[in-house]
């Protein structure tokens, strides 16, 4: 064997090993690409949502210079044609740019102007003249005689004596011990000055159907004073009408005739009847 033939064989051995190594690498890359394509076909949505890193262009510095040996006639291992990855991949998802969020400009706040201050109109009260107090004369107190209140008749009577405003009054017998076994009429007589009239000047005429009596004024002081009088009517209380009139001891009438109705109750068996003078 010549030296030239030996060198050729040596070169052909090294070149074959390098070619075989490149074939293995290419086969491995092809397998990885096929796996990737299968994964993409099985889960396309996951790959669509995954952003791909941007491809960086290779520069001359990154290129690896490989000195390939001169090809020699050796058995060539058929290689599979690499399918274009770009034809198998779905369109690259490009992340949207950051959404510009416009800052909301606050609306201009309307400024309320100052409220108009209402004008205050002073209200002056109308002066009312103060009435002048008129001095009222104080009535002079008068002595009131003992006994019931005697008020003269407001209307001038044709007779000088009228009954008091409270006559007749009904009460229980208190002037004698007969109690309810007695019924009578009694009272007093007063002059124009509200004083008891003198004894022996007047008498009280009392009469009814089947009854006619006269009682002397001043003969029964138990009914209030020296002008007291009393007339017995019946021995028990009963309902009956009696006429009563004041007259002088000479029989002259000095009052009108009053009609009095007795009552059939023990607590009302005394009829109180007073006369008072209202003019001369």
Per-domain residue ranges of the chain = 3-51+68-88, 161-277
Least confident range of 5-19, 129-143, 146-160 = 129-143
Architecture per CATH, 161-277 = Sandwich (2.60)
Tokens 């033939």 locate to 5
Burial of 16 (0-12, 13-18, 19+ CB in 10 A): middle
Choose the most confident range, by mean pLDDT, from 49-58, 109-118, 189-198.
189-198
Length of the chain: 280
pLDDT digits (tens, 9 = 90+) for 4-28: 555 555 555 666 778 788 888 898 8
Q: pLDDT band for 217, please (50, 70, 90 cuts).
A: very high
Residue 190's Cβ-count burial label (10 Å; 0-12, 13-18, 19+) is buried
Token digits for 4?
A: 């030239």
Residues 154-182 have pLDDT tens digits of 567 799 999 999 999 999 999 999 999 99
Confidence band for 140, pLDDT divided at 50, 70 and 90? low
């Amino acid at each position: 064997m010549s030296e030239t033939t030996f060198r050729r064989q040596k070169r052909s051995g090294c070149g074959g090993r390098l070619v075989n190594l490149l074939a293995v690498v290419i086969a491995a890359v092809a397998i990885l690409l096929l796996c990737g394509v299968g994964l993409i076909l099985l889960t396309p949505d996951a790959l669509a949502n995954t952003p791909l890193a941007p491809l960086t262009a290779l520069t001359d510095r990154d290129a690896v210079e490989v000195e390939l040996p001169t090809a020699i006639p050796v058995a060539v291992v058929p290689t599979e044609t690499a399918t274009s990855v770009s034809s198998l991949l779905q369109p690259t998802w490009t992340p949207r740019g950051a959404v510009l969020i416009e800052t909301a400009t606050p609306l201009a706040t309307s400024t309320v102007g100052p409220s108009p201050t209402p004008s205050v109109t002073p209200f002056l009260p109308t002066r009312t003249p103060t009435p002048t107090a008129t001095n009222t004369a104080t009535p002079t107190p008068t002595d009131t005689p003992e006994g019931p209140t005697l008020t003269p008749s407001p209307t001038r009577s044709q007779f000088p004596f009228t009954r008091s405003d409270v006559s007749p009054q009904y009460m229980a017998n208190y002037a004698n011990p007969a109690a309810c076994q007695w019924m009578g009429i009694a009272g007093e007589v007063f002059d124009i000055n509200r004083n008891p009239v003198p004894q022996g000047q007047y008498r009280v005429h009392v009469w009814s159907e089947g009854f006619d009596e006269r009682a002397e004024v001043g003969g029964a002081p138990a009914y209030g004073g020296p002008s007291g009088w009393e007339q017995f009517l019946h021995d028990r209380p009963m309902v009956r009408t009696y006429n009563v009139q004041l007259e002088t001891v000479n029989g002259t009438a000095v009052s009108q005739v009053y009609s009095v109705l007795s009552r059939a109750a023990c607590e009302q068996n005394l009829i109180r009847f007073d006369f008072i003078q209202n003019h001369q």
